[in-house]
Structure 1
Amino acid sequence: MRVMHGKPAHGVGTAVGTRVLGTLGAVALTAGLLSACGGGEEPPADSAATSSPSPEESTPSPEPSAEEQEPEASASEPSSEPSGDATDEGSGNDSGDGTGKPGEDEGDDGSSEPGDDRSSEPGDGKSDGKGGDKDPKEDKPEKPDYIEYGEVSNRVGKLQQRLKDLGYFVTSVDKAYGSETQQAVFALQKAGGLYRDGVVGDATQKAADDGVVPKARTSSGKVLEIDIDRQLVLAVENGKVVKVINASSGNGETYEAKGATYTAYTPRGSFAVYREENRMYASRLELGDMWRPKFFTGGIAVHGSASVPAFPASHGCVRVSNSAMDWIWDTWGAPSGTPVVVY
């Protein structure tokens, strides 16, 4: 049984959670092929079929030549995340930073809005049954007992500050639940094994209150850890997790590129950053663009993307938000030679 995010069990909470998840999956369907993952280099001339990653990939890759090979395709490992429609575009995000507002047309679930008593609006000459017009203040909707995308309030500010204190990637405590906050909530829900819908109900709030943070696997040095099962990137220093970032890796599906077939697979193992591009980098397999990628094996890189859903959706690379990638470059570092451990 999957652990739900903990929204209240009444009808409104259930409907909203369902709509948010449904919109994220459906809207995402159109964009998986627009993001460049696994497309760092040209494929070899004879790569007409899917190949498997070689054992040599467990060691840092040398600087590729002009004829460098394309990402090594391999048999995919079954993903625990939904992948049949695991693409991530259409998020409605206006900041270029992760998934955006889930759906612009949601709202009518068959029930009237709180306080929407159309038969007795103030000033329409109809009585409220108490001998006078209805007080406009009585029509003010009650605040829902959960937090979701789009809310602007003090409680959102408290949530942002808590997530930031715990190490989740939040740069601004502005009291507005936008794309960056959604990415951090996704990461918290992943770390806590909760339903990944970005809605802060009882269970998600409890995870924040209890200080749920993933543990590092390494114990020394500065390491980028990539947790495939939970779809997280961890910036680790001497065994301490200093930043938790929402991520999206290979979705396990096959795809065609320049006449060859590949599998959207993110290899596990110990690697190191061997090449980095401090710019918007266009995939040589024509799979799209990658923001400031750091390659750690073949054509597989950690890179920024305008769309990072809560599930695997890439061609093999590891997507993080553009602002998170800027933090990795400009604040944390991760230069060539930085260890990358994928598990």
Structure 2
Amino acid sequence: MRVMHGRPAPGVGTAVGKRVLGSLGAVALTVGLLSACDGGEQPPVDTPATSSPSPEESAPSPGPSAEEPEPEASASEPSSEPSGDGADEGAGEDAGDGTAKPGEDEGDESSEPGDGTSQGEGKPEGKGGDKDPKEEPEKPDYIEYGEVSARVGKLQQRLKDLGYFVTSVDKAYGGETQQAIFALQKAGGLYRDGVVGDATQNAADDGVVPKAQTSSGKVLEIDVDRQLVLAVENGKVVKIINASSGNGETYEAKGATYTAYTPRGSFAVFREVNGMHSSTLELGDMWRPKFFTGGIAVHGSASVPAFPASHGCVRVSNSAMDWIWDTWGAPSGTPVVVY
């Protein structure tokens, strides 16, 4: 049976990620509220998002204490296991980018060379004394933010070949790669931590990609349940982009109460701004927005976590929004299907 998370739990059960969001929950709102990123009127919503609690992080178990040495003999230094996880930033409009923080590299310590003498100096305690406690730890069997290696480059190329939004195969796990991993984990129904363990690697190897809901024409599909934006051409998904939509919470703006709701249905791009646009409700800036209903738009943002976090608009990365504008197109009149 495949484990449905990004990596197997190392050590004492550390799970990566401080916050993981599932699909929009079913909690009834008591009043009909308006929803807008840019002041447009939207229907009331009764499905605010809920979030699953973040797994607690476990502290590493301490290493054994050195025993008092006997006369004429020295005690060896104990070794401790490295612990270190990436963690997601908290959400908020244009605050944080949901990227995992890279762990620090382990120091490279060299052990004392043996000279074959019988003095016992520098010899570790334990059975047979055949394991050096200062030996450099093995490379983890998972990939996470900050790693630079050939296997990262191989993964980037695989994601790009599958249609996930990757522009550079540079062997460095940075923000763009993490966005693509989030999208892959969402498409596969996996734990959204940005860490590439067995389940996530298998999803990449197996070619897991979402299917289009439309069959003809050029359509921008928005999968609210899985928090993905799909560029679709005649029923074929040509690009898969990580997204973050309305979080279902209520908020105040210019003396009125709104609900952070992304409406579902069939729409079309009717207004676009080729540059930075400030929300008329003073909710923040939107990069090159394409509005498809009221004040709701697909737009670029520096903050695109793995969970719903917006006021109702659909966030994608700034570079992904540039691709939609400059490479794919999506001019006014382009169908937008939200489900």
**TM-score normalized with structure 2 length:** 0.75
Q: 1:127 matched to which residue of 2?
A: 122
Q: Which has the higher helix share?
A: 1
Matching of residues 86-105 of structure 1 within 5 Å: 86-87=91-92, 91=96, 99-100=98-99, 102-103=100-101
User: Residue 75 of structure 1 is aligned with which of 45, 60, 66?
Assistant: 45
Which digits, 9 at most, give the CA deviation of each residue in 1:245-265, with x for residues without a partner?
000000000000000000000
Equivalents in 1 of 2:244, 2:236: separation in Å? Answer: 22
Q: 2:270 matched to which residue of 1?
A: 274
1:221 corresponds to which letter in structure 2?
G
Q: 1:64 matched to which residue of 2?
A: none
Equivalents in 2 of 1:82, 1:142: separation in Å? Answer: 33
CA distance change for structure 1 residues 257 and 115 in 2, over 3 Å: closer, same or farther?
same
Is residue 2:174 matched to residue 1:178? yes
Q: Which runs of 5+ in 1 are unaligned?
A: 26-48, 54-67, 92-97
Aligned to 1:11, what secondary structure does the other structure show? coil
Is residue 2:300 matched to residue 1:301? no
Matching of residues 34-49 of structure 1 within 5 Å: none
Which digits, 9 at most, give the CA deviation of each residue in 1:82-133, with x for residues without a partner?
5997536654xxxxxx533x246x669xxxx6987xxx8548x951359xxx
Is residue 2:205 matched to residue 1:200? no
Is residue 2:187 matched to residue 1:191? yes
Equivalents in 1 of 2:257, 2:95: separation in Å? Answer: 26
Is residue 2:317 matched to residue 1:330? no
Instruction: State the Cα distance separating 1:71 from its structure 2 match.
Output: 3.6
1:77 corresponds to which letter in structure 2?
T
Q: 1:237 matched to which residue of 2?
A: 233
2:42 corresponds to which letter in structure 1?
E
CA distance change for structure 1 residues 89 and 128 in 2, over 3 Å: closer, same or farther?
farther
Equivalents in 1 of 2:326, 2:298: separation in Å? Answer: 15
How large is the RMSD of aligned CA atoms in angstroms?
3.3
Q: 1:7 matched to which residue of 2?
A: 7
Q: 2:73 matched to which residue of 1?
A: none
Contact 1:99–1:306 (CA<8 Å) still a contact in 2? no
Which digits, 9 at most, give the CA deviation of each residue in 1:154-210, with x for residues without a partner?
000000000000000000000000000000000000000000000000000000000
Instruction: State the Cα distance separating 1:10 from its structure 2 match.
Output: 3.5
CA distance change for structure 1 residues 170 and 342 in 2, over 3 Å: closer, same or farther?
same
The total of aligned residue pairs comes to 282
Equivalents in 2 of 1:145, 1:83: separation in Å? Answer: 26
**TM-score normalized with structure 1 length:** 0.74
Contact 1:223–1:339 (CA<8 Å) still a contact in 2? yes
Contact 1:233–1:246 (CA<8 Å) still a contact in 2? yes
Is residue 2:213 matched to residue 1:217? yes
Percent of aligned positions that are identical: 73
Task: Point out which structure has higher relative CO (alpha carbons under 8 A, 6+ apart).
Answer: 1
Equivalents in 2 of 1:162, 1:69: separation in Å? Answer: 41
In our comparison, the structure showing a higher alpha carbon Rg is 2
2:33 corresponds to which letter in structure 1?
S
Matching of residues 19-58 of structure 1 within 5 Å: 21-22=17-18, 51=33
Aligned to 1:185, what secondary structure does the other structure show? helix
Aligned to 2:204, what secondary structure does the other structure show? helix
Equivalents in 2 of 1:89, 1:274: separation in Å? Answer: 24
Instruction: State the Cα distance separating 1:79 from its structure 2 match.
Output: 2.7
Aligned to 1:139, what secondary structure does the other structure show? coil
Equivalents in 2 of 1:171, 1:184: separation in Å? Answer: 10
1:326 corresponds to which letter in structure 2?
D
CA distance change for structure 1 residues 322 and 69 in 2, over 3 Å: closer, same or farther?
closer
Contact 2:269–2:336 (CA<8 Å) still a contact in 1? yes
Q: After TM superposition, which residue ranges in structure 1, 4 or more long, deviate above 6 angstroms?
A: 113-116
Q: 2:158 matched to which residue of 1?
A: 162
CA distance change for structure 1 residues 263 and 88 in 2, over 3 Å: closer, same or farther?
closer
